[in-house]
Structure 1
Amino acid sequence: MQILFILMVILALIYFPTKYVAEYFGAERTGFWAILCSLIINGFITQAIGSLIDHKLITFVVMLGIGGLLFQYILSAASYKQGFFISLLSQVAILVCLLVFASTYSVVAS
């Protein structure tokens, strides 16, 4: 039950910032499934690029560019610049969630 709660919190920490930024920048599709689908695809692409490139900072920078195109296409953002800002925020939200998960896991494990 605790794991389900942690997963719900992590999903909320990633989903809501991405949704609000997408709405702010005028993306046409800001529904739950569109954003969740784009975040999942973004995660798969990040893992694929991470397996090809060992340096985390380079992976982050490459994913900002690819994520901008991804969010522009899936969320129907008007321009690449808007998709880039949505991508930037989602990448930061994912990093924050990873830190929250890691700190939660370290507290539970100890």
Structure 2
Amino acid sequence: MILLNWEKIKNLADQKTRLLTKTGIPFQISSASQDMLTVRVRSGEEYTISRANLEKAVQKIQAGVVFNGPKDYREQVADDRPAYAWAILRELGYLIQ
């Protein structure tokens, strides 16, 4: 059974890792608490992403659901910052590109 590795997400946050969305927009994982992570975008605004939704996505991936992009994440999981959530799942190796 594949589980979301929250420690890897915490490490990405500790390193202030910069990622790109599917369309190439940069963002940074700025922090991770027990229940959510926070991303910072170019404008300096910060948004949160629920750990529960990321875990739900990983469960769906394990069940065979394919997420080709943020739209699939939004439709199959939640409208919870899908572009950033999708990019994080891709970075962690849950999505095959």
Interval containing the TM-score (normalised by the shorter chain): 0.3 to 0.5
Write 1 or 2 for the structure with the bigger share of helix: 1
Normalising by structure 2, report the TM-score.
0.43
Structure 1 or 2, whichever has the larger Rg, is: 1
Write 1 or 2 for the structure with the bigger share of strand: 2
Normalising by structure 1, report the TM-score.
0.40
